[in-house]
Structure 1
Amino acid sequence: GSLQTVRPRELGLMTSGRAISHSEESPREHARLLHGAQLWVALPDAHRHTEPAFEHHPDLPRVTDLGGGLDATVILGELDGVRSPGTIHTPLVGADLTLREGTEVRLPVEPHFEYAVLTMSGLTEVDGVRLEPGSMLYLGTDRRELPLRAVTDGSVLLLGGEPFEEELVMWWNFIGRSGEEIAQARNDWEKGTRFGEVHGYDGARLHAPQLPVTPLKPRGRVR
């Protein structure tokens, strides 16, 4: 039941819960290419059958001039005492960091969180590792601060949260706890039940691919 244009520096937050349908379209007058990030966050078992929902937050909180050259837009969770209005179901953080050339800062972080940094533009050194646009650096846990240095003007996405210990099966657009759950989700999708319908989309409804012959097994963060 939602229809929303999401513009730069805004958050569109969809919680799929028990099941949801959605479509994504660029405005016809917009250029063919977009620059943005789409993040998937697994719901813990206690919340994964919740009612589907959508939130739009056009005015995200900001942390300005942190460390003399770093500005942050807090997408989800909390950073430097500033909290996003977006709903979360596990402790986590997502922040869009903009750094001016020459900035060197040690960003305070939560030691029990697991972190990664995705470079979106410019050249940045994260914990001494130089990252080019499109590169992601996994940082693990047990940190109280994160060294950042901007080689040029640039921006990075800081992602973090408490390590997610539950095992998951992720296949196509479905997430479950077993191969049987995924098979049921595919069956419900193809029959047009449970997931609902998107009205007004200018295009055909997607069909799920065939399930693989090999069993889908749950996996966790420990390999």
Structure 2
Amino acid sequence: MSDLQTAPDAVMCEAGDSCDGVIFLEPREVPLGGPRHMNVRRTLPQRNRSLIGAWCFLDHYGPDRVSASGGMNVPRHPHTGLQTVSWLFTGAIEHKDSAGYQAVVKPGEVNLMTAGRGISHSEFSTPETDTLHGAQLWLALPDAARQMEPTFEHYEPEPVTGEGTELRVFLGSLAGSTSPVTTHHPTLGAEILIEAGQEIVLDLDPSFEYGILLDAGDLSLDDTELPKDHLAYLPTGRDGLVLSAGAESVRALVIGGTPFEEKIIMWWNFVGREHEEVIAYRAAWQAEIGAEPAPAPAGGSYDDGAPYPRFGTFPEGEPDALPAPVLPNARLRSREQ
């Protein structure tokens, strides 16, 4: 997914209330597209909580009737220095990228695209999709991996079932289930379903920090109620957690990882380390799609070794690529925990 804001902010927002070490991060509504658009609820990044582990972006959307909202309609756009993670509850999205991968993500399956030094992709709801509902997340790549070749992985995790509970681990390990999908920083991603009146007890890695996103139902975290659509942040040091459903069954996402110690600059769809680096990514994208004139780099590659075109090519006949927003009149600031 692309960040379609016309003036994306590189500075972080206030977090919500805190209770017993749990911080509630309130979502903000962000429209994707034009007059007939789909709204998403963004809980990462925020001003004083930019990352949870390596997770640096979380958009939660739906359930949306595609006939009314237009669904997912995101033409070709670029990414650098991150991995995109798509997880659906209902509907289906077709993914195409400039590394040659094409896939349809469906509920219970994860698509993970590694941008590395640069990739471009598109995402569109499939024609058969009536209701679209899910989440799009990004992981920041550590410095050692952020210039790697772009790639793509698809995985359908087996559910782990208990009394009135079901859990699917799509990244990392939890409850005895381990995903084979490649990440480059210790990371967890899982979906949890809890029937009304039931609970699940999770053993946690105390070196991880965690986030719990409530999609539906009445959910308590160790007797602390989590507001719907909010993201609860749990700092490191916990070795366990009890998630309990009230009168309504629960669907939630659990994300986590060891704290990401590197400073990053995230602006629009780019993750980098320096202001000048992100500016160069934008200039390369604008030139490669013909939005702004610029000469091709000498020798057929950019200064950091990425080939020209950095963001690859797409087949003829695809919708026009998204141009980058105008840069702010200020130096881009780094994001930390």
TM bracket, shorter-chain basis? over 0.9
Q: 1:125 to 1:87 in 2, by over 3 A?
A: same
**CA distance in structure 2 between the aligned counterparts of 1:25 and 1:56, rounded to whole angstroms:** 17
**CA distance in structure 1 between the aligned counterparts of 2:115 and 2:122, rounded to whole angstroms:** 13
Matches within 5 A, 1:208-219: 208-219=324-335
Q: Contact 1:47–1:89 at 8 Å: present in 2 too? A: yes
Matches within 5 A, 1:18-97: 18-31=117-130, 33-57=131-155, 59-65=156-162, 68-97=163-192
Greater fraction of residues in strand: 2
**CA distance in structure 2 between the aligned counterparts of 1:199 and 1:175, rounded to whole angstroms:** 26
Q: Under a length normalisation based on structure 2, what TM-score does the superposition of the two structures give?
A: 0.62
| SS of equivalent to 2:137 | coil
Task: Provide the alpha-carbon RMSD of the alignment.
Answer: 1.3
Q: Under a length normalisation based on structure 1, what TM-score does the superposition of the two structures give?
A: 0.93
| SS of equivalent to 1:34 | strand
Q: Match for 1:205: what amino acid?
A: A
| SS of equivalent to 1:182 | helix
Q: Contact 1:169–1:178 at 8 Å: present in 2 too? A: yes
1:77 to partner: Cα distance: 0.3
**Which residue is equivalent to 1:136?**
231
1:126 to partner: Cα distance: 1.4
Q: Match for 2:276: what amino acid?
A: E
Q: 1:90 to 1:211 in 2, by over 3 A?
A: same
| SS of equivalent to 1:24 | strand
Q: Match for 1:163: what amino acid?
A: P
**Which residue is equivalent to 1:159?**
255
**CA distance in structure 2 between the aligned counterparts of 1:178 and 1:149, rounded to whole angstroms:** 43
| Structure 1 residue ranges (4+ consecutive) displaced by more than 2 angstroms after TM superposition | 197-202
| SS of equivalent to 1:4 | strand
**CA distance in structure 1 between the aligned counterparts of 2:133 and 2:335, rounded to whole angstroms:** 31
Matches within 5 A, 1:83-122: 83-122=178-217
**CA distance in structure 1 between the aligned counterparts of 2:245 and 2:142, rounded to whole angstroms:** 36
Q: With CA pairs under 8 Å and 6+ residues apart, which has the higher RCO, 1 or 2?
A: 2
1:23 to partner: Cα distance: 0.2
Q: 1:4 to 1:200 in 2, by over 3 A?
A: farther
1:100-137 deviation per Cα after TM superposition (whole angstroms, max 9, x unaligned) = 11113321110110011001111111132222431111
Point out where structure 2 has 5 or more consecutive residues left out of the alignment.
1-99, 289-308
Is 1:206–2:302 an aligned residue pair?
Answer: no
Identity of aligned residues (%): 44
**Which residue is equivalent to 2:113?**
14
1:157-216 deviation per Cα after TM superposition (whole angstroms, max 9, x unaligned) = 011100001000000011100111100000111111311123266421100011111100
1:62 to partner: Cα distance: 2.2
**CA distance in structure 1 between the aligned counterparts of 2:208 and 2:192, rounded to whole angstroms:** 18
**Which residue is equivalent to 1:195?**
311
Q: 1:128 to 1:200 in 2, by over 3 A?
A: farther
